[in-house]
Every structure is written in C-alpha cells, then in structure tokens.
Amino acid sequence: MAAEADFATLAEYGVTASLQPAFDALWGGPGGFYEQRLGPARAAQMNRCGSLHRAGVPLALGTDSPVTPVAGWETVRAAVGHWQPTERLTVEQAFTAATLGGHWATGVDNGGLLRPGWRADLAVWDVVGSVTPSGLPQLEAGTPLPVCAATVVAGRQIYGPAEWSLPGRKRLTPGRAG
C-alpha cells in the first residue's frame, strides 16, 4: 500500500508495482474484509491499480497463490471490475499488466510478446462472447472466462490438440489435458 504522494517517485524510478486484484474482488468494497480490519480510509487505498497506472507506474498483476487461485483471466477481470471505478483498468491495460508486467518486473525484456528472436511462449484461448477492438474478451461480470485451448512454451506445443502441432516438431505432452 503505497502513499499517493509516492506514486510519481515510483514511476520516476521505474519501480514495478506487484498487485493482486483478486484481493480486491474478495475483500474490497464497503463492508468488506479490508474495511473491517483497516477502516474505510485505509481500505480505500488498497490495490490502486488505476491510480498507479495513471501515474506511470509499471504494473505486474498476479494471484499470490495459494491465497487466491492461479487464475489469470480472473485476475484480469478483477482489475477491470475494481470496486472503485477510478481504480479500474481497461481490459487491455489489465492484460498487459498480467502478461508483460511479470516480464518487466523480473527484468526479462525479450519475452511477453511475439517478436522475431524472442521466446515463443503463448496460449490460445477459446473466448465466448464479445471482444474488444484489440481482440481481448470483454470480461463482463457473469460471462464465461476464456478457456485455454493450447499452450506453446519456447516454441514447443505442450498442451492442446495434436493436430495443432507444428510439422516435424515433437510434442512434450500428448493430446489435451484434463
């Protein structure tokens, strides 16, 4: 929980804020666990995704498992639906923080995007419902979250249908998992 007066300094020094939006989804809001334990004023300062983003602080979104489940799309949805409207991120901002943000936080600058010469790590998602202009799911409350259809790590398919494998490439695991 950083003080707002420190946001500009965090941005200036390139400090990445590691946030767990699922905490806000579980414990934020009026009458929530944060408010019960910290009081309304301090609770309102928790998980300030939008304010940090607007101040130019790089964000890395995570789950802090096992406190909350490892659930990437739930994490993105929680950042998009923060209980305080001013602290909400767009789907694109939250997705970037949940994917590239982790690379930035660890100093990895050749991952998180598909670029020539970079690691080819990606997931293919089945999406139900509408998408944003950038192709990301809308993530409205109550709509099904995307389901992983295939995963590629370092250019090798490790999950998904065998017919999706690249010709001449050995798969690490057969077929679709569970």
Q: What is the pLDDT of residues 23-66, one digit of tens each?
A: 999 999 999 999 999 999 999 999 999 999 999 999 999 988 89
CA angle 27, 55, 65 (to 5 degrees): 35
What is the identity of the amino acid at 5? A
* Structure tokens belonging to residue 85: 């409207």
pTM for the full predicted model: 0.86
pLDDT value, residue 149: 93
Spell out where the chain has E strands.
17-19, 59-61, 122-126, 147-153, 156-159
Instruction: Please calculate the CA angle 36-39-40 and round it to the nearest 5 degrees.
Output: 105
- Domain spans in the chain, listed from the N-terminal domain onward: 4-105, 115-178
Tokens of 170: 């050995």
Q: How far apart, in whole angstroms, are the C-alpha atoms of residue 23 and residue 43? A: 11
Residue 163 has which token pair?
Answer: 């017919």
Contacts of 178 (CB under 8 A, 6+ apart): none
Largest CA distance in the chain: 60
Structure tokens at 67: 């406190």
Q: What is the pLDDT of residue 23?
A: 94
**pLDDT band with cut points at 50, 70 and 90 for residue 2:** confident
- Segment 68-107, tens digit of pLDDT: 888 999 999 999 999 999 999 999 999 999 998 988 888 8
156-159 β-sheet, strand order: 122-126, 147-153, 156-159
